[in-house]
Amino acid sequence: MIAAASECRVSLPPVIEYDADRADLPLVVVPVSIPSMTTLLRDRLDEFAGLARVRIHTDWTDDEDVLAARMSDATVVMSTGFRASARLLERIAGRVRCITFCGTGAVSFIDLEAARRLGITICNAVHYGDNAVAEHAIALMFEHTHRVGELNARTHQGGWPGADITELSGRTLGIIGLGGIGRRVSRLAHGIGLRLLVWDRHPDAAELAALNAESAATMDEVFSRADIVSLHLALNDATRGIIGPAQLDLMRPGALLVNTARAELIEPGAMLRRLSRGDIAAAIDVTAPEPLPDDDPLRTLPNLIITPHVAWRSDRALAALVEQNVRSAVEFLKGGAYNVLV
């Protein structure tokens, strides 16, 4: 994760400690953080009173040795998005009994099978950023059709760059997955005037009727009929790689693929190969791997809009995320359970 420019102005000490002298209490560690989350966590430290000491490291590192050292004395770890491989979990197992994850897609960051084998409880957060991610998906659609960011950058560089734009209203938006985020995208899109074509394993007839949305019999139908396809599936064993060349080849020339869910929903290499033909476009907030290497060929595609996995990072979403993570940690320390995934 990369701190936003506004965050770089925040001055924080390297480590924030709470009740550090209470050696009789278990230790909760935040091994890495970003400034916006650090300040929110700091404001909720009193919720650990009498339950635990807390240590927040306010910098960011991907170094596994550093992470392992920082978590070596912890009973509970609050993760703000570092990668927890099986090897790292094995290094901290025995001491660390619970990891609370800052999001819904823990499977992309934590080896859940290893955690289960090692007896480490994993908690996640749910629905904290449904609106934030939905708005970002719509923003990506607008950037593709109205090109606001591109035209702003070009105008700042000089001259008066003219350009034609396209309207979203009246086009068909295909929604793959009608969970919390998919529903919110559908409602926003309905307000804009998009026609809705939805594929979901368990379609909600009342919800579809309220949105005047059409239910697609298959996922392939969405790819073949929609002007825009927006992905909103959770990543799991059943959905990993669920979209491949067969689906992407169904997209009509001029169509747009939007992905604010998980990059791993798409078969590795399939999107690059399809976009390289030049007749469709994509707008994504997620990549595999993350961060995306500077020399990754996706960066060279003119028909691809990329944002660096920031859709979840609105002010309200971050506050809800921290609230859920703190609650998960507190409940675990009390012997209870909240948002337990493993």
pLDDT of residue 204: 87
The answer to whether residue 290 is catalytic is: yes
Is 113 catalytic? The answer is: no
Secondary element (H or E) of residue 17: strand 15-18
The separation between CA 205 and the C-alpha centre of its own chain, rounded to angstroms, equals 28
Q: Considering only the C-alpha atoms of the chain, give the largest distance between any 2 of them, rounded to a whole number of Å.
A: 67
Token pair listed for 299:
């960066």
Q: CA 282 to CA 228: how far, in whole Å? A: 9
233-264 burial by CB neighbour count: b if 16+ within 10 A, else e? bebeeebeebbeeebbebbeeebbbbbbbbbb
Tokens coding 86: 């099986």
Mean pLDDT confidence for 193-219? 94
Is the domain spanning 7-128+315-333 CATH 3.90.110.10? The answer is no
CATH class as words, domain 130-306: alpha beta
Give me the residues paired with residue 56 across strands. 16, 30
The pair of three-digit structure tokens given for residue 242, joined into one six-digit string: 């669920």
Q: Residues, the chain, total? A: 342
Q: Closest Cα partner for 273 from 255, 289, 249?
A: 249
Question: Beta strands 15-18 and 53-57: pairing type?
Answer: antiparallel
Quickly count: other Cβ atoms within 10 Å of residue 291's Cβ. Answer: 12
DSSP single-letter state for residue 97: -
Alpha-carbon span 107 to 38, nearest angstrom = 23
Of 262, 274, 313, 327, which is the active-site residue?
Answer: 262
Question: Which H/E stretch holds residue 142?
Answer: helix 130-146
Distance CA 67, CA 115 (A): 16
pLDDT value of residue 10: 59
Enumerate residues 6+ apart whose C-beta is below 8 A from 62: 82, 83
State the Cα–Cα distance between residues 207 and 205, nearest whole angstrom.
5
Options 53, 97, 309, 327, the catalytic residue: 309
From the list 267, 290, 323, 331, the catalytic residue is: 290
Amino acid (one-letter) located at 98: C
- Boundaries of every domain in the chain: 7-128+315-333, 130-306
Give the pLDDT band (50/70/90) at residue 105: confident
Coil/strand/helix, residue 57: strand
Helix (H, G, I), strand (E, B) or coil at 197: strand
Which pLDDT score, from 0 to 100, does residue 44 have? 97
Q: Are 202 and 208 in contact (CB under 8 A)?
A: no
**Given this model, what pLDDT does residue 3 score?**
40
pLDDT at residue 109, as a whole number: 92
Q: Mean pLDDT, the chain, as a whole number?
A: 95
How far apart are the C-alpha atoms of 60 and 31, rounded to whole Å?
8
Q: Is the pLDDT of residue 108 over 60?
A: yes
pLDDT digits (tens, 9 = 90+) for 298-328: 999 999 999 999 999 999 999 999 999 999 9
Would you call 53 a catalytic residue per the annotation? no
Return the SS3 of 102: coil
The pLDDT tens digits of the residues spanning 112-156 come to: 999 999 999 999 999 999 999 999 999 999 999 999 999 999 999
